[in-house]
Amino acid sequence: MMRVCVVGLGAMGGGMARSLLKSPDIEQVTGFDLSRQLVDTFYNDAKAVNKAPSCLPGKLELANYVDGTTDVVVIVLVNERQCESVCFGDGENLTTLLRDGACVVVCSTVSAAWAKSAEERLVSRNVQFVDSPISGGAVRANRGEISIFASGNDKSLQMVDPLFQAMGKEVHIIQGGVGMGSTVKMVHQLLAGVHIVVAAEALALAAKAGLDVEQ
């Protein structure tokens, strides 16, 4: 049984955290965010299924939500800069708060170079790391049906597999170590961008040709 903290309770992170509440392999899920409303709402949801901490900390500080009993931290933040701050920022951060053998799973879209650097710094503090970008949107996140592109060492991947099974419908283990998951996500994003551009060009051509673009 694991104790998990999800950092970032926005559209994706909030749904993923709620998916974890349904897993029989997870004893407790804590949600951390800079929004008091999001934190309070998730705490009540976790409490309703007996998977919340005994009490909700008053201050929105990472050290009040992650401690030596936390097994896994799942990061679902907006960008690489925010991930850097949570993992290695000034004051209390994940390198100072987590116990030996704990694991950090970064689901944010970050560069492969940052993911590799993060792994090196965390492993030096005896903390495991999984590079695990995601795709699917808020609706699928709430259903536990996101796509996951995970890369890391065998030990860390095995440790967090129950989380992946709870959060994802398509779990892709990308070989080659940390950074390869983020590389797959980069390719995925490029394809999405190309398709948007092509669709826009096609609609522009249709409009100029006098076609009903809505049809």
User: 146: closest CA among 161, 162, 163, 168?
Assistant: 168
26-32 sheet: strands from edge to edge: 26-32, 2-7, 72-75, 103-106, 128-131
Length in residues, the chain: 215
Positive or negative CA dihedral for 168, 173, 178, 183?
negative
Q: Edge-to-edge strand order for the sheet containing 146-150? A: 134-135, 146-150, 168-173
Indicate the DSSP class of residue 34. S
Query: Are the beta carbons of 133 and 107 closer than 8 angstroms?
Result: yes
**The tokens of 166 are what?**
């709870």
| Marked catalytic residue, from 22, 59, 185, 208 | 185
For the question of residue 185 being annotated catalytic, the response is: yes
The CA-CA-CA angle for residues 146, 174, 143, to 5°, reads: 10
| Sign of the dihedral defined by the CA atoms of residues 34, 38, 42, 43, in that order | positive
Q: Which residues are catalytic?
A: 185
